[in-house]
Structure 1
Amino acid sequence: MKFIDLRSDTVTEPTDRMRTAMAEALVGDDVYEDDPTIKLLEEYTAKLTGKEAALFTPSGTFANQLALFTHCNRGEEVILPHDCHIVAHEVGGASVIAGVQLRAIESVNGKMDIDKVKKAIRYVDDIHYPETGLICIENAYSDGTVLSLDYMKELHMVAKEAGLKVHMDGARLFNAALSMKEEVSEVLKYVDSAMFCLSKGLCAPVGSMLVGDEEFIKKARKKRKLMGGGMRQAGILGAAGLIALKEMRLRLVEDHENAKYMAEELSKIQGIEVLKDNLDINMVFFNITDNRLKGKMTQEAFLKEGIKINPEEDNMMRFVCHYYISKSDIDTVINFIHRLRRY
């Protein structure tokens, strides 16, 4: 049975082109840096992002935690938005792996107040305080919004003046760049390192990339091995990653347009309130204000109709558009919700 899967853009399966490329990939032992396909992927990534070097990692969480582990010394503090992915959804990895503590600053749509960031920076000259080791941002943010280039530039200046680096969780980097109408290399000018996922909306089955300068990536490569991320014939995965970057990122505009269409249609349903300020990328967030409808919009009810959704989180629902969600799929979902409301 074919499901309409709105849970996330992580559910995308490899395309036929990817499957063929994976089967035919030239491979070697990547721990020895002998895998030609991974080398091509890393070189292409560095060129695309405007960074000196890149490193293939198993996942976005892995790449974020590797960045903290590489940038920071144990006992240092990382400044970042209070509800970003590193804080909320990475299993407390920062304390376990890098041995750092997180200085979570209250934010709105991932945007920390610049003055609060300045005040949060702590230096080594006071024996009572941990020293600040890094500032992190997330763009696009997990609530469907995008930070502006002006904001990123201002934050980077603050970090630079304090002698700090900025790392960006760019899991959906290409969605952010599309929304900003900027080249990816321009977006990454104002961060020292960044990660992005190949498996979120780009259809690659596994993997994320970490980018930065050559010294940073050299250190990260060794720490990747320590964390168990040194893979052998990884070119099978790298082949899919190359297609993700060369082809699939160029079609993300369709997902953004579909998300806006879905938001418009959901807004027409009485009892549903769409968060229209959170529509920068391929996600639609909404509240169900009608308790009768809310009681009917369960995972079980949708699943019976061949639709997969996630339950409410913090009284909010999220539908995500991706390569395998068409406009007709959206119409099917909308019609089903209309039927739920009617009966």
Structure 2
Amino acid sequence: MNIDLRSDTVTKPTHAMLDAMMKAQVGDDVFSEDPTVNALQSRIAAMFGKQQALFFPSGSMANQTAIKLHTNPGEQVICDKYAHIYNYEAGGASFNSGVSCNLINGNKGMFSAEQVLEHINPDAFYYSQTTLVEIENTTNKGGGACWDFNEILKIRKICDDKNLGFHLDGARLWNALVAKNETAKQYGDVFDTISVCLSKGLGCPIGSVLVGNDDIMKKAIRIRKIFGGNMRQVGYLAAAGLYALDHHIDRLEEDHKKAKEIGNILSSLSYIKTVEPVETNIVVFELSSDVKEPDFFQKLKENNILIISMGSNKLRIVTHLDYTDAMHEKVLNSLTSLKI
């Protein structure tokens, strides 16, 4: 059996999800006439207590749209040095919106309200104007770490005081909600815009949703069109999202449990230098200095196990919907029996 732990994006729709997709009622979404898309957007907007939601083909496009909604060319976004919008969206912030990123050296992709204050540019004409603060929950390069909600509230107050927008890249927010026993509404009350992904922890084949209130979202559909993201009978994909909201959120606890068990095994092995604390479905670890990364990857590949490198000497394992109990047992046994 092949075991792919590179990402939670490698999942395939379940038979029940495929059945829901095939039965979807569809229409032309460019005319806002796809009933299934409209139902998904209405449902997610209501979950977060926001007035609007808009379906996107990718989380990167949703994030890039949010940045453009909040900023004008020449302005600056405050985010962590590990932020997805800075590292993994192909320079889109500068290319699409003409903005720069003021990077915070945080802790596992997270930072404090005090650090935000320190990174707001002075109000002088020769500085780039700070207009947006962006955070990511859970943090990808932070090993699936979850933010302290009280710190988020403190940052919100600074954004209010300084008239800054506040955007959440919630690609794995569902994992944080389950791990921390929080609600979507809590986050909707705090952030101006939130992007949530349906194709990671929830197991959909494609799709993200951007939520916000009317004042900020009124131009979102135009920007999505500019980015080439308007779609036609996309209700087949939206139906997968509706199914996932009903059936795939609570089960995220299983992914978290398996990830923690992998982390515990790794921590006990002599060829592993460090393992980041595991909170959700991501395990980030580092090999001992005498172990070569290509050799380790090859040993895993011989056991039909795939993982991914994150750079900076860090490796990542991500548990997900398609990672079965039988696969989990094989991974644990393989890790403990590898000859390194």
Runs of 4+ in 1 over 4 A off after TM superposition: 292-295
Instruction: Using structure 2 for the length normalisation, give the TM-score.
Output: 0.94
- Mark the runs of 5 or more structure 1 residues left unpaired by the alignment: none
- The Cα of 1:66 is off from its aligned counterpart by 0.5
Task: Give the AA of the match of 1:291.
Answer: D
Match of 1:280 in 2: 279
Return the alpha-carbon distance in structure 2 between the equivalents of residues 306 and 252 of structure 1: 24
Return the alpha-carbon distance in structure 2 between the equivalents of residues 131 and 241 of structure 1: 37
Task: Give the AA of the match of 1:209.
Answer: V
Match of 2:32 in 1: 33
Secondary structure at 1:9 match in 2: coil
Return the alpha-carbon distance in structure 2 between the equivalents of residues 203 and 194 of structure 1: 19
Return the alpha-carbon distance in structure 2 between the equivalents of residues 70 and 141 of structure 1: 23
- How does 1:201-280 map onto structure 2 within 5 Å? 201-277=201-277, 279-280=278-279
Return the alpha-carbon distance in structure 1 between the equivalents of residues 218 and 231 of structure 2: 16
- Whether contact under 8 Å (1:134, 1:164) holds in the other structure is yes
For residue 331 of structure 2, the aligned residue among 327, 330, 333 is 333
- Whether contact under 8 Å (1:263, 1:274) holds in the other structure is no
- Whether contact under 8 Å (2:266, 2:275) holds in the other structure is no
What RMSD in Å do the two structures reach over aligned CA positions? 1.7
Secondary structure at 1:250 match in 2: coil
- Whether contact under 8 Å (1:60, 1:195) holds in the other structure is yes
Q: Kindly tell me: are residues 196 and 132 of structure 1, through their superposed partners in 2, closer, same or farther at Cα, counting changes over 3 Å?
A: same
Instruction: Using structure 1 for the length normalisation, give the TM-score.
Output: 0.94
Return the alpha-carbon distance in structure 2 between the equivalents of residues 283 and 213 of structure 1: 31
Secondary structure at 2:204 match in 1: coil
- How does 1:142-181 map onto structure 2 within 5 Å? 142=140, 143=142, 144-181=144-181
Secondary structure at 2:121 match in 1: coil
- Mark the runs of 5 or more structure 2 residues left unpaired by the alignment: none
For residue 321 of structure 2, the aligned residue among 323, 327, 337 is 323
- Whether contact under 8 Å (1:177, 1:187) holds in the other structure is no
Return the alpha-carbon distance in structure 2 between the equivalents of residues 81 and 311 of structure 1: 20
State the percentage of identical aligned residues.
38
- Whether contact under 8 Å (2:265, 2:336) holds in the other structure is no
Question: How many residues are treated as equivalent by the alignment?
Answer: 338
Task: Give the AA of the match of 1:25.
Answer: A
The structure with the largest helix share of the pair is 1
- Whether contact under 8 Å (2:133, 2:164) holds in the other structure is yes
Return the alpha-carbon distance in structure 2 between the equivalents of residues 291 and 328 of structure 1: 31
Q: Kindly tell me: are residues 18 and 285 of structure 1, through their superposed partners in 2, closer, same or farther at Cα, counting changes over 3 Å?
A: same
